[in-house]
Amino acid sequence: MKTLYKVLPIMLSVGLFGCSNSTNNATTQENANNSSTAAVENKSQFVSKLPDTAPIVKLSTDAQFAPYGFNDEYGSVTGFDIDLMRQIGEDQGFKVEIYSDPWEEVFENLDNKTRDMLAAAVPYSAERDRKYLLSDPYAPLPSSLVYLDKSLELKSLKDLGSVKIGVLGDTVQHKYFSSGENKVESVTPYPSTFLAVKAMAQGEVDAVAEDAGALRYIMNDLPDLQPNYFDYEDIHAESAYKVLLVERDQPELLEKVNAGLKSLKENGTYATLTTKWFGEDLTQAVSQQRKPNT
């Protein structure tokens, strides 16, 4: 399990959420995650059955977004995206070399071809579709709101009113509530979902908007908070249509990725992985998704 989120219940129980040390610890963890290095192999990690001569795909990921990608207790990158890509590689005959890159650099690394692929719960957009090769959808989880005050009774976006929302900065949720017809009175960006949840526990914001899978994964470790959820989008929204990005000049790799995804759905591996990381088999849901705006 994720070390960072294991600390959170302890911090809550002893009231350390109000102390500067908790912020410093979170910052230290984030700085450690920001180092752009290949993941170190250790006993906790997957061991490929492919021969040493198998081709290697360099995969970029942002290891600050559990359960898609995060650092385990050994300091190695793990998560749904990592497990999925390794299984796709085994199915299609290539090894996956994981690189933990800062979010600010993941697209640049594809652009300059120092990475072959990106897996980081990236939602579809028309701009990304023009610039990169996008896989079939792989994680059909919509945007959601988590809140602690049961008196809010959020059932529609109209119920938000003056609700203060915390978000992870520079995300689809941040943009969603900061402009357009869904703009709300107060949106506060945070460097991580962890810090947004911390702010909610302290009463600085009323709710946190994030990917449903990420929110539930964090909050499952905090049952004492008794969280409430409102999925304000469905699996057909752009935010739920998550794709794996392939460098533009590698169409053969994209074909292998999509073939691997299809194979994992058919042989039950996809069901096993989604149940492991999200608590449910998402095979049927992902099969129902269609490319946005088509």
Name the helix (H) or strand (E) containing 286.
helix 283-288
For the stretch 13-45, pLDDT in tens is: 434 344 433 333 333 344 444 444 454 443 346
Domain 143-230 homologous superfamily, CATH = Periplasmic binding protein-like II (3.40.190.10)
- For domain 34-140+241-288, give its CATH number from 3.10.20.30, 3.30.360.10, 3.40.50.1820, 3.40.190.10: 3.40.190.10
Domain(s) labelled CATH 3.40.190.10 in the chain stretch across 34-140+241-288, 143-230
**Tokens at 148, concatenated:** 């602690």
For the stretch 203-244, pLDDT in tens is: 999 999 999 999 999 998 888 999 999 999 999 999 999 999
Supply the pLDDT for residue 275.
95
Q: In whole angstroms, what is the distance from residue 222 CA to residue 228 CA?
A: 12
Using an 8 Å Cβ cutoff, are 199 and 166 in contact?
Answer: yes
**Tokens at 182, concatenated:** 């869904």
Please give the average per-residue pLDDT across 38-66, as a whole number: 81
294 confidence band (pLDDT: 50, 70, 90)? low
pTM of whole model > 0.75? Answer: yes
Count Cα atoms within 13 angstroms, Cβ side, for 135: 30
For the stretch 174-202, pLDDT in tens is: 999 998 888 999 999 998 888 999 999 99
Using an 8 Å Cβ cutoff, are 200 and 148 in contact?
Answer: yes
Angle at 140 between CA 196 and CA 48, to 5 degrees: 95
